[in-house]
Amino acid sequence: MSEVDALVERMREGNRRALSRILTLIENDTPDGRRALAALYPRSGRAHTVGLTGSAGSGKSTLVGALARELRRRGKTLGIVAIDPTSPFSQGALLGDRIRMQDLTSDPQVFLRSMATRGNLGGLAPATAGLVTALDAFGKDVVLVETVGAGQDEVEVAAMADTTVVVLTPGSGDDVQAMKAGIMEIADVLVVNKRDLPNADLLARQLQSIVDAAPGERRTPIVRTSSALGEGIDELADALEAHRDYVSQPAVRERHREAQARHQVLALARQMLLARVVADHSGDGKLEELVARVARREIDPHSAADALIAG
Amino acid sequence: MSEVDALVERMREGNRRALSRILTLIENDTPDGRRALAALYPRSGRAHTVGLTGSAGSGKSTLVGALARELRRRGKTLGIVAIDPTSPFSQGALLGDRIRMQDLTSDPQVFLRSMATRGNLGGLAPATAGLVTALDAFGKDVVLVETVGAGQDEVEVAAMADTTVVVLTPGSGDDVQAMKAGIMEIADVLVVNKRDLPNADLLARQLQSIVDAAPGERRTPIVRTSSALGEGIDELADALEAHRDYVSQPAVRERHREAQARHQVLALARQMLLARVVADHSGDGKLEELVARVARREIDPHSAADALIAG
């Protein structure tokens, strides 16, 4: 048995250290990481995966903490993946925030993992999906993924989760009208956090009119919370469970799983194809020559990319 | 002469409507858009391209407005690309914000363009780079790109601009320690906006210690501004010009241009390769079959992606 197979075996017996090493292999996208994922993937698909997104300052991290405590009270075991660099679940967070999360970080039924977010040309989505698969196969009931809005990463995380929660705050500078299309595209549950702030009612009404105007069979619920005061967290947990029940209906579930699979396969194919092209031309200087010609403005980047992938 | 060649011709004569149509072709990545880009790229490279990034609520949009006015006072012609959905330069912004920007939007020496930010599997970077190339070839002295932090889009926009400005605000929830590596990777100029807020000095000191600890020949300048009060904008414009002079030194310029070209060629190659694979298998049902097997957990996404790109 190879070393990685032994690790997978130990992880399946509940060894957290083995899980931690496997997560590192997956995050670094090593051959062993891929081998582990291939072994774990057929054992995944049981957990409820929940992506939470919102801008910095929306109180999203505190909300994830409060939600995690509520889910623990309900007897759920948890995986948490933080890909927001400002999250207290990330190693980089302020000490005070980390101390406030200590009840969670010391709970053996909670497994936390933060991920570096910068400088990855392939995007975060493939690595994040791999971490979620491993936590799912480890047997966690719910896997929470905390990411930062807005943009491509957010859309990709939404494409991967069973349930996507978009967290908004009154007066945050988030313009609801501008985000309308984007919100309805990705949100399964909307949260108005900091509900004690003056404009919370206005924000909730704006969201309600967007929800009412949206097509589709299901109305996106709007939950008002105060993560700092611990209010509305129970309703949020209920909304997540209701959405899980909704996506567990056979027809919905099949469509959902296929969309997730398609997105993941295409994202990986894109990453692998590029790696292959770069490797193919690493010795022959073709990439370097094309890049130099683009830098000198002799050819345009599209023509260079065409020439590169032509072989 | 084809229709698109005629458009390029009219655009080069200074016709704004032709420019606008070309920008739409580029944004939609049509064959005509690529043809226009191939014609325009050799004529680009003259403008100073500046990316400005920061979280929603950092006052970044107001800062872009104030900076644009300062650059106009200095006699520069401007292109502005907004890929932040909350920006008043985007069509979705609040009416009041848009009215405040009216002196800019009605100035014939300023050309504004906002871009949709959602649901694009290839990422925003290729389209953004194309818009910047066209505005540059149109003859604008400076092209400002306003994007939203943090994540992949931000890194890619930074890879494309001559000068990247990261805008931070005291007490915004942005954790400077957590963002340390990311900031130093992309920032050429750091801005502490809302400098009249209580913790502005603390934030500036934290940033200064990060800058002091960073390796490299050039110290990243830290500019304190109040975009609402119009303070520090002059210093910011000076810092941008100083960085432009720095990257205009032949050795630095060559390195910079090559890095930009490499990033753009690889991002496009990735996008094109994926489009080709999807097109190759659109008739034969191979993609559909692999996706269905992944959805049923029979194979893992990596193995499916491998099989897809194997031919």
> Quick one: pLDDT at residue A121?
41
Q: What pLDDT is stored for residue B76 in this prediction?
A: 97
Token representation of residue B215 = 């390796």
- Residue B119: what pLDDT? 42
C-alpha to C-alpha distance for B47 and A154, rounded to whole angstroms: 32
Give the confidence band of A2 by pLDDT, cuts at 50, 70, 90. confident
Q: Cβ contact (<8 Å) for A270 and B265?
A: no
pLDDT-flagged residues of chain B (< 70): 55-57, 84-100, 116-125, 148-155, 171-182, 311
How close is the nearest chain A Cα to the Cα of B77, in Å?
A: 22
Half-sphere exposure of A311 (CA within 13 A, CB side): 0
A41 and B301 within 8 Å at the Cβ level: the answer is: yes
pLDDT computed for residue A176 by the predictor? 60
Which residues on chain B are in Cβ contact (under 8 Å) with A274? Answer: 266, 269-270, 273
Nearest CA in chain B to A93: B178
Between B282 and A309, the higher pLDDT residue: A309
The pLDDT assigned to A291 comes to 93
* Sheet containing B48-53, strands listed edge to edge, beginning at the edge strand earlier in sequence: B110-114, B78-82, B142-146, B48-53, B163-168, B189-192, B222-224
- Nearest-CA distance from A71 to chain B in Å? 26
Per-residue confidence band for A120, with pLDDT thresholds at 50, 70 and 90: very low
Do residue A300 and residue B42 have CB atoms under 8 angstroms apart? yes
Helix (H, G, I), strand (E, B) or coil at A48: strand
Q: In the numeric block, which tokens belong to residue A23?
A: 């997560």
Round to whole Å and give the CA distance between B132 and A219: 40
Q: From the CA of B296, how many Å to the nearest CA of chain A?
A: 8
Task: Dump pLDDT digits (tens) for B77-121.
Answer: 999 998 765 666 665 555 556 666 778 888 999 999 987 654 444
Q: How many CB atoms lie within 10 A of CB A84?
A: 30
Residue A199 to residues A171, A173, B285, Cα–Cα distance (Å): 7, 12, 51
Beta bridge partners of B81: B113, B145
pLDDT tens digits for range A76-86? 999 999 876 66
* Planar angle of CA A304, A306, A308, nearest 5 degrees: 70
| Domains in chain B with CATH codes | 1-43 (no CATH), 45-249 (3.40.50.300), 266-309 (no CATH)
Q: Are B156 and A122 in contact (CB under 8 A)?
A: no
ipTM computed for the complex: 0.81
Instruction: Give the distance from residue A178's alpha carbon to the nearest chain B alpha carbon, in angstroms.
Output: 4
- Strand ranges in B214-288 using DSSP code E only, listed in sequence order: 222-224
B98/chain A closest Cα distance in angstroms: 13
Residue B120: predicted pLDDT: 44
Residue with tokens 């303070």: B231
> φ, ψ for residue B113 (rounded to 5)?
-145, 130
Which pLDDT score is estimated for B266? 86
Provide CB contacts within 8 A for A169, sequence distance 6+: A54, A55, A57, A58, A59, A192, A193, A194, A197, A203
Confidence of residue A206 (pLDDT cuts 50, 70, 90): confident
pLDDT for res A62: 87
Cα–Cα distances in Å, from B22 out to B5, B12, B61, B147? 10, 11, 25, 21
Distances (CA, A) of B94 to A173, A308, B90, B140, B295: 10, 44, 9, 27, 42
User: What pLDDT band is residue A168 in, cutting at 50, 70 and 90?
Assistant: confident
In whole angstroms, give the CA distance from residue B59 to residue B12. Answer: 35
What's the confidence (pLDDT) of residue B121? 40
Give the chain B residue nearest A308 (alpha carbons).
Answer: B269
Q: Are residues A303 and B124, on separate chains, in Cβ contact within 8 Å?
A: no
Give the model's pLDDT for residue B66.
94
Length of chain B in residues, anyone?
311
Cβ atoms within 10 Å of A60's Cβ, excluding its own: 29
Chain A partners within 8 Å of B133 (Cβ)? 300
- A173 band by pLDDT with thresholds 50, 70 and 90: low
Tens digits of per-residue pLDDT, A220-272? 999 999 988 889 999 999 999 999 999 999 988 888 899 889 888 888 888 88
How many angstroms separate the CA atoms of B11 and B17, rounded?
8
- Distance CA(B213)–CA(A304), nearest Å, equals 38
Nearest by CB: B92 against A86, A177, A264? A177
State how far the Cα of A252 lies from the Cα of A249, in Å rounded to an integer: 5
Residue B177: burial class (beta carbons within 10 Å; 0-12, 13-18, 19+): middle
Which of B86, B261, B274 lies closest to A175 in CB terms?
B86
pTM greater than the 0.95 cutoff: no
Name the β-bridge partners of A222. A190
